[in-house]
Amino acid sequence: MDRNIRTTDDVLTLLDGLFVPEAHRWSTDAASWWDDFYGDRSKPVPFFVDKPDESLVSYVDRGLITPGRALDLGCGPGRNAHALASLGFDVDAV
pLDDT at 25: 58
On whether both 5 and 38 belong to a single domain, the answer is: yes
On whether both 1 and 42 belong to a single domain, the answer is: yes
Q: Is 84 helix (H, G, I), strand (E, B) or coil?
A: helix
Kindly calculate the radius of gyration of the chain based on its CA atoms and give it in whole angstroms: 16
On whether both 40 and 68 belong to a single domain, the answer is: no
Total structural domains within the chain:
2
Q: Taking a C-beta distance cutoff of 8 angstroms, is the pair 47, 8 a contact? A: yes
Residue 71 pairs in a beta bridge with 92
Distance (Å, rounded) from C-alpha 27 to C-alpha 6?
22
Residue 69 pairs in a beta bridge with 90
Domain that holds residue 22: 1-47
Residues of the chain scoring pLDDT < 50: none
Strands 69-72 and 90-93: parallel
